[in-house]
Amino acid sequence: MKDKKHLSVSAIENGTVIDHIPAQNLFKVITILGLDKIPNQITFGTNLESKLLGKKAIVKIADKYFERDEINRIAIVAPHAKLNIIKNYEVAEKMLVEVPDQISGIVKCVNPKCITNAEDVTPKFKVVDKENVSLKCHYCEKITDQEHMQYL
Ligand SMILES: [Zn+2]
Protein backbone atom coordinates (compact mmCIF):
# COMPACT_ATOMS: atom_id res chain seq x y z
CA MET A 1 0.00 0.00 0.00
CA LYS A 2 1.19 3.50 -0.83
CA ASP A 3 1.87 5.76 2.10
CA LYS A 4 1.48 9.02 0.25
CA LYS A 5 -1.20 10.06 2.76
CA HIS A 6 -4.07 11.70 0.91
CA LEU A 7 -3.24 10.08 -2.37
CA SER A 8 -3.80 6.58 -1.08
CA VAL A 9 -7.56 6.96 -0.95
CA SER A 10 -9.33 8.40 -3.95
CA ALA A 11 -11.86 11.23 -3.85
CA ILE A 12 -15.59 10.68 -3.73
CA GLU A 13 -18.31 12.80 -5.32
CA ASN A 14 -20.87 12.58 -2.51
CA GLY A 15 -20.70 10.88 0.83
CA THR A 16 -18.78 10.82 4.08
CA VAL A 17 -15.09 10.65 4.86
CA ILE A 18 -14.15 9.50 8.35
CA ASP A 19 -10.62 10.52 9.20
CA HIS A 20 -8.39 10.07 12.26
CA ILE A 21 -9.48 6.56 13.12
CA PRO A 22 -6.80 4.73 15.12
CA ALA A 23 -5.48 2.15 12.62
CA GLN A 24 -6.00 -0.76 15.01
CA ASN A 25 -9.69 0.14 15.35
CA LEU A 26 -10.56 0.47 11.67
CA PHE A 27 -12.48 -2.80 11.49
CA LYS A 28 -14.33 -2.03 14.72
CA VAL A 29 -15.55 1.20 13.14
CA ILE A 30 -16.67 -0.73 10.08
CA THR A 31 -18.57 -3.21 12.26
CA ILE A 32 -20.14 -0.58 14.53
CA LEU A 33 -21.42 1.45 11.58
CA GLY A 34 -22.56 -1.70 9.78
CA LEU A 35 -20.47 -0.78 6.73
CA ASP A 36 -19.96 -4.46 6.00
CA LYS A 37 -23.70 -4.77 5.35
CA ILE A 38 -24.43 -1.88 3.00
CA PRO A 39 -24.14 -1.84 -0.79
CA ASN A 40 -22.38 1.56 -1.00
CA GLN A 41 -18.94 1.92 -2.46
CA ILE A 42 -16.44 2.08 0.37
CA THR A 43 -12.72 2.71 0.21
CA PHE A 44 -10.33 2.80 3.08
CA GLY A 45 -6.70 3.34 3.79
CA THR A 46 -4.94 2.22 6.90
CA ASN A 47 -1.57 2.55 8.63
CA LEU A 48 -1.28 6.09 7.32
CA GLU A 49 1.04 8.40 9.19
CA SER A 50 -0.60 10.64 11.76
CA LYS A 51 1.00 13.10 14.14
CA LEU A 52 -1.93 12.71 16.49
CA LEU A 53 -2.40 8.95 16.47
CA GLY A 54 0.80 7.39 15.19
CA LYS A 55 -0.96 5.25 12.63
CA LYS A 56 -4.38 6.18 11.43
CA ALA A 57 -7.04 4.88 9.12
CA ILE A 58 -9.48 6.72 6.90
CA VAL A 59 -12.75 5.49 5.42
CA LYS A 60 -14.70 6.95 2.54
CA ILE A 61 -18.30 5.94 2.07
CA ALA A 62 -19.94 7.04 -1.16
CA ASP A 63 -23.54 8.32 -1.12
CA LYS A 64 -23.97 7.92 2.61
CA TYR A 65 -24.60 10.47 5.36
CA PHE A 66 -24.85 9.56 9.00
CA GLU A 67 -27.11 10.72 11.81
CA ARG A 68 -25.46 12.26 14.88
CA ASP A 69 -26.46 9.33 17.08
CA GLU A 70 -25.14 6.88 14.59
CA ILE A 71 -21.78 8.55 14.28
CA ASN A 72 -21.31 8.99 18.02
CA ARG A 73 -21.38 5.20 18.33
CA ILE A 74 -17.86 5.09 16.90
CA ALA A 75 -16.61 7.50 19.57
CA ILE A 76 -15.79 4.59 21.85
CA VAL A 77 -13.22 3.24 19.40
CA ALA A 78 -12.30 6.45 17.59
CA PRO A 79 -12.81 9.37 19.99
CA HIS A 80 -10.78 11.74 17.78
CA ALA A 81 -12.47 10.85 14.52
CA LYS A 82 -13.29 13.70 12.19
CA LEU A 83 -15.97 13.57 9.54
CA ASN A 84 -16.04 15.39 6.28
CA ILE A 85 -19.39 15.53 4.58
CA ILE A 86 -18.71 15.60 0.85
CA LYS A 87 -21.04 17.12 -1.69
CA ASN A 88 -19.96 17.50 -5.28
CA TYR A 89 -16.34 16.62 -4.46
CA GLU A 90 -16.20 19.41 -1.89
CA VAL A 91 -16.27 19.43 1.88
CA ALA A 92 -19.73 20.77 2.69
CA GLU A 93 -19.50 20.22 6.43
CA LYS A 94 -17.09 18.98 9.08
CA MET A 95 -18.15 17.09 12.15
CA LEU A 96 -16.34 15.88 15.21
CA VAL A 97 -17.30 12.73 16.98
CA GLU A 98 -18.56 13.27 20.52
CA VAL A 99 -18.27 10.61 23.14
CA PRO A 100 -21.84 10.20 24.41
CA ASP A 101 -22.78 10.14 28.12
CA GLN A 102 -24.37 6.74 27.78
CA ILE A 103 -24.13 3.93 25.32
CA SER A 104 -26.17 0.84 24.81
CA GLY A 105 -26.05 -2.19 22.59
CA ILE A 106 -22.52 -1.86 21.23
CA VAL A 107 -20.15 -3.25 23.82
CA LYS A 108 -20.38 -6.33 26.02
CA CYS A 109 -20.08 -6.01 29.79
CA VAL A 110 -16.74 -7.32 31.03
CA ASN A 111 -18.40 -9.17 33.92
CA PRO A 112 -19.25 -12.75 32.86
CA LYS A 113 -21.89 -12.93 35.61
CA CYS A 114 -23.65 -9.76 34.47
CA ILE A 115 -27.30 -10.19 33.54
CA THR A 116 -26.52 -8.81 30.08
CA ASN A 117 -24.25 -11.79 29.44
CA ALA A 118 -26.58 -14.35 30.99
CA GLU A 119 -29.90 -13.24 29.56
CA ASP A 120 -31.28 -11.45 26.57
CA VAL A 121 -30.72 -8.00 28.05
CA THR A 122 -29.15 -5.18 26.02
CA PRO A 123 -26.01 -3.88 27.73
CA LYS A 124 -26.23 -0.29 28.93
CA PHE A 125 -23.36 1.82 30.21
CA LYS A 126 -22.58 5.19 31.64
CA VAL A 127 -19.40 6.66 30.13
CA VAL A 128 -17.25 7.44 33.17
CA ASP A 129 -14.08 8.43 31.34
CA LYS A 130 -14.55 10.17 28.01
CA GLU A 131 -10.87 10.62 27.26
CA ASN A 132 -9.79 7.00 27.55
CA VAL A 133 -13.32 5.67 27.23
CA SER A 134 -14.26 3.48 30.12
CA LEU A 135 -17.78 2.34 30.71
CA LYS A 136 -19.71 1.57 33.87
CA CYS A 137 -22.36 -1.09 33.53
CA HIS A 138 -25.89 0.07 34.31
CA TYR A 139 -26.74 -3.36 35.76
CA CYS A 140 -23.68 -4.66 37.63
CA GLU A 141 -21.66 -1.43 37.90
CA LYS A 142 -18.44 -3.13 36.76
CA ILE A 143 -16.09 -1.02 34.65
CA THR A 144 -15.31 -2.09 31.11
CA ASP A 145 -12.22 -0.31 29.84
CA GLN A 146 -10.93 0.05 26.31
CA GLU A 147 -8.49 -2.82 26.68
CA HIS A 148 -11.25 -5.30 27.58
CA MET A 149 -13.90 -4.11 25.18
CA GLN A 150 -15.69 -6.72 23.16
CA TYR A 151 -18.26 -5.74 20.61
CA LEU A 152 -21.69 -7.19 20.12
ZN1 LIG B 1 -22.57 -5.64 33.68
> Is 140 labeled as ligand-binding?
yes
> Is 13 labeled as ligand-binding?
no
pLDDT at 2: 45
5-96 is classed CATH 1.10.10.10: no
How far does residue 148's CA lie from ligand 1's centre (Å)?
A: 13
- pLDDT digits over 66-85, tens only? 998 888 889 888 988 999 99
Whole-number Å distance between alpha carbons of 72 and 79: 9
Q: Is 6 left (phi over 0), alpha (psi -120 to 50) or beta?
A: alpha
When the pLDDT of each residue in the chain is averaged and rounded to a whole number, the result is 90
Whole-number Å distance between alpha carbons of 108 and 120: 12
How far does residue 74's CA lie from ligand 1's centre (Å)?
A: 20
- pLDDT digits over 128-141, tens only? 998 888 999 999 99
Other Cβ atoms less than 10 A from the Cβ of 2: the count is 9
Would you say 72 and 99 are in contact if contact means Cβ atoms under 8 Å apart? yes
How far does residue 119's CA lie from ligand 1's centre (Å)?
A: 11
What is the residue type of 27? Answer: F
Q: Where are the domains of the chain?
A: 5-96, 102-148
> Is 114 labeled as ligand-binding?
yes
For the segment(s) 102-148, the CATH number from 2.30.30.20, 3.30.200.20, 2.40.128.20, 2.40.128.640 is: 2.30.30.20
